[in-house]
């Protein structure tokens, strides 16, 4: 293990969060098996994986269980659970998270992965009222989930897929060492040893699949109602209210299988840059999002809008033909350019003006069932701005709301029947050094009890064809529905 105690004491003079870690070989362990072992009988846990561009495995996988602090928000009512006690306060959960993250001053050591301690969680689309109060609430909230939940981890695992190593990291929170630094150091060593023992043990007994009959999937709107909503949105576009708006439908089902089995199938049928599994007591959020919301790394802000979709072909030749057709589709290109401009505007509010740039513009990325037009927008944070400012400036993404963004969200609240919840919000991690990596919660499923929910939408513009927009939502839902089918058959 490193560092040794004398080095640890020296590091403790430089900050209040000191990592102790050990490197293990990963040749006999996978992220899935490690997660199953560590999360067994735990209320809260997470697994974050990545397949860049849908084709290349990302270098790191992160996972953890047993957070030392949790934050739960419903509107402006926020609960903070810490050291066995719950504290309640009112306010903007993003501001409260900023204060909590700011309590920790990590000391960097060589050899650690980019995320070694921090907060993991989600923020629902419905939190927009904290940022833009004029956007009305949805008429109905039938899933009744918290608007946000974040888990703070001082102990976690990081798989390095390049070196085939597992970093077991146990941070010492020096401010909370009850007796001495040595006690905190020994406790970190103990946590690492216990994780080693858990990894060396057997896999827990898998839960049995109990599907009964064919899978029944119900939409919360149906095709006819969705098409009527598209026509109404086009009326707003013709009247000059908006240029574009994203309308969605939610699908509901009873899979009859364990949620992690669905995730295992999903990571195979739809590998994506953001693969995530959040176990939050009685709720699971799982997904394979292709789209970054915003990333902040050492003061550099990254935004990667995706807009423009075609289904995949049956071979490379068909893929090339479909990609060429997509890049010649004036409706798709106009929508994409508009959302790139919206992203530049969002970053411009928090970045130094001269630094906002578009290093990639209108490239094609391929995923398991669809292809997308993708661009990249980057900038450098202004002095006095941080990752939370960047998050709130971009939240929610224009690619899941519309343009102009605020008016589009007002129309979404009018035309969609139920609150969006996690869908089109964000799943993310925030480290204690001020860095952030977040994705848009699309291609995402929420599992509560026996019910599972997934939602998909499409951008409506002046010449949108309602039936085609309906088909696009179903295409985007297909990967998750296929994953459910595979899990039920396994």
- pLDDT tens-digit profile of 339-353? 899 999 999 999 998
pLDDT at 175 over 90: no
What's the pLDDT score for residue 331? 84
| Domain annotation covers residue 267 | no
Pair type for strands 283-289 and 444-448: antiparallel
| Domain annotation covers residue 133 | yes
| Domain annotation covers residue 209 | no
SS3 156: strand
Q: What phi, psi does 399 have (nearest 5°)?
A: -70, -15
What's the pLDDT score for residue 55? 62
- The predicted model gives 107-123 an average pLDDT of 93
Question: What is the percentage of the chain residues whose pLDDT exceeds 90?
Answer: 86
Residue appearing with tokens 């094609």: 364
What's the pLDDT score for residue 457? 96
State the burial class of residue 275 (Cβ atoms within 10 Å of its Cβ: 0-12, 13-18, 19+).
Answer: buried
Last residue of a domain, one of 133, 165, 200: 200
Same domain, 239 and 133: no
Rounded Cα distance, 21 and 7, in Å: 13
pLDDT band per the 50, 70, 90 thresholds, residue 19: very high
> Considering only CA atoms, which of 133, 121, 132, 64 is closest in space to residue 96?
121
Same domain, 351 and 390: yes
- The predicted model gives 297-317 an average pLDDT of 93
Which of the pair, 175 or 459, is modelled with greater confidence?
459
pLDDT band per the 50, 70, 90 thresholds, residue 179: low
Last residue of a domain, one of 200, 227, 251: 200
Residue range of the domain that includes 299:
218-259+293-489
| Paired tokens of 120 | 């993991």
* Distance in angstroms between the alpha carbons of the first and the last residue of the chain: 40
- pLDDT tens-digit profile of 116-131? 999 999 999 999 999 9
CATH of the domain at 60: 3.60.120.10
Same domain, 160 and 229: no
- The predicted model gives 77-101 an average pLDDT of 97
SS3 158: strand
From its phi and psi, is residue 402 left (phi > 0), alpha (psi between -120 and 50) or beta? left
DSSP secondary structure letters along 191-228: HHHHHHHHHHSPPPPPPPP---SSPP-EESS-HHHHHH
pLDDT at 429 over 70: yes
Which range of 111-115, 207-211, 232-236, 470-474 scores highest in mean pLDDT? It is 232-236
What's the pLDDT score for residue 154? 96
**What element of type H or E holds 9?**
helix 5-11
- The predicted model gives 211-232 an average pLDDT of 93
| Paired tokens of 383 | 């002095």
DSSP letter assigned to residue 244: E
Same domain, 194 and 297: no
Structural domains counted in the chain: 2
- pLDDT tens-digit profile of 286-295? 999 999 999 9
Same domain, 253 and 378: yes
Same domain, 361 and 405: yes
Which of the pair, 109 or 223, is modelled with greater confidence?
223
Same domain, 242 and 100: no
Rounded Cα distance, 398 and 306, in Å: 10
- pLDDT tens-digit profile of 28-71? 999 999 999 999 989 999 999 998 765 677 899 999 999 999 99
Same domain, 440 and 343: yes
- The predicted model gives 76-102 an average pLDDT of 97
pLDDT at 221 over 90: yes
| Domain annotation covers residue 275 | no
| Domain annotation covers residue 265 | no
| Domain annotation covers residue 280 | no
Q: Which residues touch 251 (CB under 8 Å, ≥6 apart)? A: 217, 218, 219, 220, 453, 454, 455, 456, 477, 481
Residue appearing with tokens 């000059």: 240
The overall average pLDDT reported for the chain is 94
Same domain, 452 and 321: yes
| Domain annotation covers residue 282 | no
Same domain, 333 and 255: yes
Last residue of a domain, one of 149, 170, 200: 200
> Considering only CA atoms, which of 92, 43, 50, 47 is closest in space to residue 70?
43
| Paired tokens of 198 | 């858990």
- The predicted model gives 92-103 an average pLDDT of 97
Sign of the CA dihedral running 287, 290, 295, 298: positive
Same domain, 223 and 122: no
Same domain, 344 and 444: yes
Which H, E and C letters describe 35-100, residue by residue? HHHHHCCCCEEEEEECEECCCEECCEEEEEECCCEEEEEECCEEEEEECCEEEEEECCHHHHHHHH
Q: Tell me the C-alpha to C-alpha distance, in Å, between residue 12 and each of 6, 9, 20, 152, 391.
A: 10, 5, 12, 20, 31
Rounded Cα distance, 444 and 424, in Å: 9
pLDDT at 477 over 70: yes
What's the pLDDT score for residue 370? 82
Pair type for strands 402-403 and 426-431: unpaired
Q: Which residues touch 274 (CB under 8 Å, ≥6 apart)? A: 48, 50, 287, 288, 289, 290, 291, 292, 427, 439
What's the pLDDT score for residue 100? 98
**Lowest mean pLDDT segment, chosen from 96-110, 134-148, 170-184:** 170-184
| Domain annotation covers residue 284 | no
**Which residues are marked as active site?**
372, 399, 423, 443, 459
What's the pLDDT score for residue 130? 95
């Amino acid at each position: 293990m490193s560092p040794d105690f004398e080095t640890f004491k020296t590091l403790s003079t430089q900050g209040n969060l000191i990592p102790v870690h050990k490197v293990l070989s990963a040749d006999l362990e996978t992220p899935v098996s490690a997660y199953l072992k560590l999360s067994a009988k735990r209320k809260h846990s997470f697994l974050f994986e990545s397949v860049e561009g849908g084709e290349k495995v990302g270098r790191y996988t992160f996972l953890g269980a047993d957070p030392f602090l949790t934050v739960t928000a419903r509107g402006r009512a926020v609960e903070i659970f810490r050291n066995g006690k719950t504290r309640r306060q009112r306010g903007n959960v993003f501001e409260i998270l900023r204060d909590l993250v700011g309590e920790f001053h990590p000391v960097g050591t060589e050899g650690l992965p980019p995320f070694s301690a921090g907060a993991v969680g989600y923020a629902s689309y419905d939190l927009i009222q904290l940022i833009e109060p004029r956007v009305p609430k949805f008429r109905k909230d039938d899933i009744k989930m918290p608007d946000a939940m974040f888990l703070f981890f001082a102990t976690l695992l990081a798989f390095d897929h390049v070196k085939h190593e597992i970093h077991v990291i146990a941070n010492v929170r020096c401010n909370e060492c009850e007796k001495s630094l040595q006690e905190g150091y020994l406790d970190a060593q103990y946590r690492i040893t216990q994780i080693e023992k858990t990894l060396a043990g057997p896999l827990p007994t898998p839960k049995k699949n109990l599907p009964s009959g064919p899978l029944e999937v119900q939409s919360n709107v149906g095709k006819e109602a969705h098409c009527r909503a598209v026509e109404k949105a086009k009326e707003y576009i013709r009247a000059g209210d908006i240029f574009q708006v994203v309308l969605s439908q939610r699908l509901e089902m009873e899979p009859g299988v364990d949620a992690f089995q669905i995730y295992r199938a999903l990571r195979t049928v739809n590998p994506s840059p953001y693969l995530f599994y959040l176990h939050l007591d009685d709720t699971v959020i799982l997904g394979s999002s292709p789209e970054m919301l915003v990333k902040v790394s050492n003061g550099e802000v990254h935004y990667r809008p995706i807009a423009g979709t075609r289904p995949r072909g049956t071979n490379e030749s068909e893929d090339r033909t479909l990609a060429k057709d997509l890049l010649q589709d004036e409706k798709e290109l106009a929508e994409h350019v508009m959302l790139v401009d919206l992203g530049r505007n969002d970053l411009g509010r928090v970045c130094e003006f001269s630094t906002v740039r578009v290093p990639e513009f209108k490239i094609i990325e391929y995923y398991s069932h669809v292809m997308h037009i993708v661009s990249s927008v980057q900038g450098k944070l202004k002095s006095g701005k941080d990752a939370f400012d960047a998050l709130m400036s971009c939240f929610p993404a224009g690619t899941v709301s519309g343009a102009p963004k605020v008016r589009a969200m007002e129309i979404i609240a009018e035309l969609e029947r139920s609150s969006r919840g996690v869908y089109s919000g964000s799943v993310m991690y925030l480290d204690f050094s001020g860095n952030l990596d977040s994705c848009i919660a699309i291609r995402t499923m929420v599992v509560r009890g026996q019910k599972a929910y997934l939602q998909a939408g499409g951008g409506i513009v002046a010449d949108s064809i309602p039936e085609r927009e309906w088909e696009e939502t179903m295409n985007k839902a297909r990967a998750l529905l296929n994953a459910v089918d595979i899990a039920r058959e396994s």
